[in-house]
Amino acid sequence: MYASFKSIGAYVPPKKLTNQDFEKMVDTTDEWIKQRTGIEVRYIASEEQSTSDLAYEAAKIAIERSGLKHSEIDAIVCATITPDFLCMPSTACVIADKLGISHITAFDISAACSGFVYAMNIAKAFVESGIKKNVLIIGAEKMSSIVDYSDRTTSILFGDGAGAAVIGTSDKKEESIIDLHTSSDGAYQDFLITPGCGSKNPCSQKVLDEGMHYLKMKGNETFKLAVNTLTRDVKNILEKNSMTSDDIDFFIPHQANFRIIDAVARKLNFPQEKVVLTVAKYGNTSAASIPMAINDWYESGKLKTGDLMLLDTFGGGLTWGSAIVHFNQK
């Protein structure tokens, strides 16, 4: 039995934050942001919405499109770095409750922007080992809850959102997740970090006063590593499966920066029409970025059942990963 990508869903919160808005908030320009990142707009959750609310909306759509009943989902894995609660309960448990599903395996994973591909790896293992039948995987983030809106180097990059998929079973290889690779290197842990409010620097007035609860990033160093690591990772997974860019219908990378995506796509000979780009309209939504991009391509009619997707991601940890996946929503 193979693991199969059965459906996609996504949710974008209603509040728009444009580059022009940022011009009023920090010392930046629309031109700088567009040139350096490709981002034009991102969407921000309301104060009342937490990550589980965004995830719930995406999950409902994904389950409906899979044709399954809520009761047929037997595990939920939520990838997020902005959980509803720092320690417990997990966001996955809260989402399960909102969906009206109980007595199933539900847990969160933390792999920053690589979270969705990591979650898919877990789902594939669950399904192919026979432990679970239908795993709901979610990438959901309220990045606005950890972004310092006075810091022009990070605030302009991130948006909120959620994407979800059901990973079920198929007996056909041409409907399956062909291969998947995840990796990490903790030596670069300080490249992307929220230093405060964990066990290392527990929450205190001092931690808050120093802004240690906000996301910090060594942007330029991360950029260079991202391009090289992603290129190598995609080359490896293609070679391992005796494929080239010609065999792939859509290259769907993590949407962090247009320049990173463009550099990797060029090095790997992906023609423009095969490269999925949503960074301009959503910014970097961390673990939600890949499923939101898949959903965007599906809803715009470009992604069809049977298409072969190459997913590719890189994020805090550092973590990275890639996957060759048939889109099998019927």
Residues that bind ligand ACO (CB under 6 A): 28, 32-33, 36-37, 112-113, 152-153, 156, 192, 219-220, 222-223, 226, 256-257, 260, 284, 286, 314-316
Q: Residue 90 or residue 255: which is nearer to ligand ACO going by CB? A: 255
Q: How many CB atoms lie within 10 A of CB 64?
A: 14
Strand bridging mode 105-109 / 135-141: unpaired
Q: Residue 169 or residue 194: which is nearer to ligand ACO going by CB? A: 194
Q: Could you write out the DSSP letters of every residue in 180-213?
A: EEEEE-GGGTTSEE--SSSSSS---HHHHHTTTT
Q: Please report how close the Cβ of residue 139 comes to ligand ACO at its closest, in angstroms.
A: 11
Q: Residue 153 or residue 169: which is nearer to ligand ACO going by CB? A: 153
Annotated active-site residue in 19, 134, 254, 295: 254
Q: Residue 10 or residue 146: which is nearer to ligand ACO going by CB? A: 146
Three-state SS for 252? Answer: strand
Q: Please report how close the Cβ of residue 292 comes to ligand ACO at its closest, in angstroms.
A: 14
Q: Please report how close the Cβ of residue 257 comes to ligand ACO at its closest, in angstroms.
A: 4
Residue 50 Cα distances to 13, 162, 246, angstroms: 11, 11, 41
Annotated active-site residue in 93, 113, 295, 328: 113
Q: Please report how close the Cβ of residue 97 comes to ligand ACO at its closest, in angstroms.
A: 27
Q: Please report how close the Cβ of residue 33 comes to ligand ACO at its closest, in angstroms.
A: 6
Q: Residue 38 or residue 168: which is nearer to ligand ACO going by CB? A: 38
Three-state SS for 48? Answer: coil
Dig out the tokens for 206 from the structure.
């001092």
Annotated active-site residue in 284, 295, 326, 328: 284
Dig out the tokens for 192 from the structure.
């992307």
Contact residues for 15 (Cβ-Cβ < 8 A; gap 6+): 43, 44, 45, 46
* 112 phi-psi bin (left φ>0, alpha ψ -120 to 50, beta other): left
User: Is position 197 annotated as part of the catalytic site?
Assistant: no
Q: Could you write out the DSSP letters of every residue in 99-114?
A: HT--SSEEEEE--GGG
**Torsion angles phi and psi, residue 131, rounded to 5:** -70, -40
Q: Tell me the C-alpha distance between 245 and 155, whole Å.
A: 34
Q: Please report how close the Cβ of residue 228 comes to ligand ACO at its closest, in angstroms.
A: 12
User: Is position 203 annotated as part of the catalytic site?
Assistant: no
AA letter at 92 = A
Q: Residue 133 or residue 218: which is nearer to ligand ACO going by CB? A: 218
Among 141, 84, 153, residue whose Cα is nearest residue 112: 141
User: Is position 284 annotated as part of the catalytic site?
Assistant: yes
Report, as residue numbers or ranges, the catalytic residues. Answer: 113, 254, 284
